[in-house]
Structure 1
Amino acid sequence: MENRTQAIAIVYLSGFLQGISLILYPAAGPIFTNPEFHGLSSSQYGVLFTPQIILAIVASFVAPGLAGRWGMKQVLRAGLTANLLSMALLTASHFAIGQGMLPFLLLMLGTAALGTGFGFTITAVNPYAYSYFPGKEASAVTGLHILLGLGTALSSVLVNFFLELGYWWGAGVLAGSLFLLLTLWMSRLPMPLPSEKTAPKPPSVWRAPARVWLFFLVIFLYGACEATFGNWAPIYLEKQAGLSLAGAA
């Protein structure tokens, strides 16, 4: 398989896996708040995703500068590695149950790593998809985000599958293993971006036109609504609607 084909596969698989990992924590919400598992309180669960939001924003802002210094491949590698760490921490939290605050702290570190991974990975895969299909850039990026959305849809199914088997943390092991394979795979490929040598320095975000700030606001409001529903809906379905842990997940 030629390098370009392999690079395309890595980019689109990265988007798909990012979608899966992004929703694994909310999908496992009923498990985290169940007294037989992590036993998180409502306030603990509510604050659990704060590091993810903060680190996703920070990673997205610093990624272009890092790409300009070390190349976009290293940004993508950092994103995949952070996602791998997040899945490892998610899995480790299960084996720390009964050790006081340790499961909660591991989950907090896990969501922080997930936010970092999301910010770096999404910042990298978008320009890669755009550059690999000249003349079909919009379709290429749309296809990437379709795979990202498909990953988010399958995440709950994955948690439910492993929960029915008796070890919900298998979802984290599987996702982490796939991130590891992708990281090793991309290490042997050059994966340069044509724009890395020709693109001018991007303008400061503070000088963006007013319509861009309006776009930012719309994205922020959408993200707030999606995160609120996605994070709390499984908890509601389990505690208020009476669904089983597997059904709520």
Structure 2
Amino acid sequence: MATRAQNAVVYGAAAVQGIVLVTFPAASTILTGPAYYGLSSTKYGFLFLPQVILAITTSLAGAWLSSRAGTKPIYLAGLGCGLLAMVLLLISQRYMADEAVAYPLLLAATAFVGAGFGLTVPTLNLLTAAFHPARVDASVLVLNAVLGIGTVLAPVFVAIFVGLGFWQGLPITSAVMLAILIAVSARLQLSAGARRTASQRSTRTPIPARFWIYAVFAVLYGICETVNGNWAQLDMTGTHDASTTQASLALTAFWAMVTLGRVLFALVQKHFPPARTFHLLPFALTAIFVLIAILPKGSPGWAIAAFGLAGLGCSALLPLTISFGQEELTALSATIAGGVIACYQLGYGIAAFGVGPLLDAGVKLPAVYAAAAAVAAAMGLLSFVVSRRPQMNPAT
């Protein structure tokens, strides 16, 4: 059982990681605004490619590294990567007028965001499951709800700091919080289990066929979440002629409902089983994407409400994918969290940098949301396969 200090640090790290993860999408109007960095849609989308590559690589390598170095060093390394990302973002703002210098700095910053995410988030999920073995589903939902609080705060901070004429306040705030977390965490015992012995390292558990079902689901989820998280603000300003504040409010509404939904479904799981939630949400998300696609132009109020509903539709899906996988494939519990996060990041990448060239080619964002509805429907059908968890040897 975890101590209060251990729980506080794990949940605090989740919140700060949420802020760091959404810093660049929340600052999309800064990154694409002519008065700031002035990036095209393609360059803005491509900005997330290093993040995705590093997040996938570190997520997959995290379990292997933890088995050799221990959980705590990997967790601290992830926080350190996030801190470096915020420092690079701050340095880049000095060269906003010189894209040849600013853009490589931004690419490096997003790379470290990805590395930090890939190292920290699977570790936090693993620690939470180890600290609360009797209620894994609920504890993972709560952890990801706390991470969601951070994703809510990022666009709020951007709106506040932009209003104050000091958008750099967001990366400064994140850097300070990360530094404090590193200092506090260094003093605590944080472990999800003993390191593997030399004999254990020589025995590899094969990846079961069932894992790939979870993997595909995570990719589809990553696409659905990211068309909201990375492109909602640009849809607000481009389709609905919204102000920067309204665009930030739409992103805030999305992440706020992601967070509230995770808390809600954790609280009601005794009366509304997680498997039922897992089946319902993708089809609800399908309907919401259709609504976003057909909203009349110049409807910022309705669009904000629709993006909020999209957040509720996304809310519990990723945490339940992780917890279902950890419970079913127990021999690979450490690998499952990292593998699911890596596949989620692959879906994130498809939507993050795949949409940009489409927009520059003349495709409109409502058409993108219509296509996302089909992805959500496919995810709903696959949910019945994922949640049908047979009693099986995890290594088969």
**Normalised by the size of structure 2, how large is the TM-score?**
0.58
> Matched residues in 1 for 2:97 and 2:158: separation?
22
> Matched residues in 2 for 1:100 and 1:209: separation?
46
Match of 1:72 in 2: 71
> Matched residues in 2 for 1:133 and 1:210: separation?
27
Aligned pairs for 1:46-195 within 5 A = 46-195=45-194
Render the CA deviation track for 1:67-106: whole Å, top value 9, x for unaligned: 1111100000011011111112222222221123222111
Change (3 A) 1:181 1:42: same
- Whether the 8 Å CA contact 1:86–1:109 is kept in 2: the answer is yes
Match of 2:292 in 1: none
- Whether the 8 Å CA contact 1:29–1:235 is kept in 2: the answer is yes
% of aligned pairs identical?
A: 35
> Matched residues in 2 for 1:140 and 1:195: separation?
21
> Matched residues in 2 for 1:218 and 1:142: separation?
17
Q: CA deviation at 1:208?
A: 2.6
Q: Report how many aligned residue pairs link the two structures.
A: 244
- Whether the 8 Å CA contact 1:56–1:118 is kept in 2: the answer is yes
Match of 2:365 in 1: none
- Larger Rg computed on CA atoms: 2
1:73 maps to amino acid: K
- Whether the 8 Å CA contact 2:68–2:195 is kept in 1: the answer is no
Q: CA deviation at 1:195?
A: 4.4
What secondary structure does 2:96 align onto?
Answer: coil
What secondary structure does 1:101 align onto?
Answer: helix
What secondary structure does 1:193 align onto?
Answer: coil
Q: CA deviation at 1:193?
A: 3.0
> Matched residues in 2 for 1:70 and 1:23: separation?
29
Which runs of no fewer than 5 residues in structure 2 stay unpaired? 249-396
RMSD of Structure 2 on Structure 1 (CA): 1.9
Which runs of no fewer than 5 residues in structure 1 stay unpaired? none
Q: Which has the higher contact order (CA 8 A, sep 6+)?
A: 1
2:236 maps to amino acid: L
What secondary structure does 1:10 align onto?
Answer: helix
- Whether the 8 Å CA contact 1:163–1:246 is kept in 2: the answer is no
**Normalised by the size of structure 1, how large is the TM-score?**
0.91
Q: CA deviation at 1:248?
A: 1.9
Q: CA deviation at 1:131?
A: 1.6
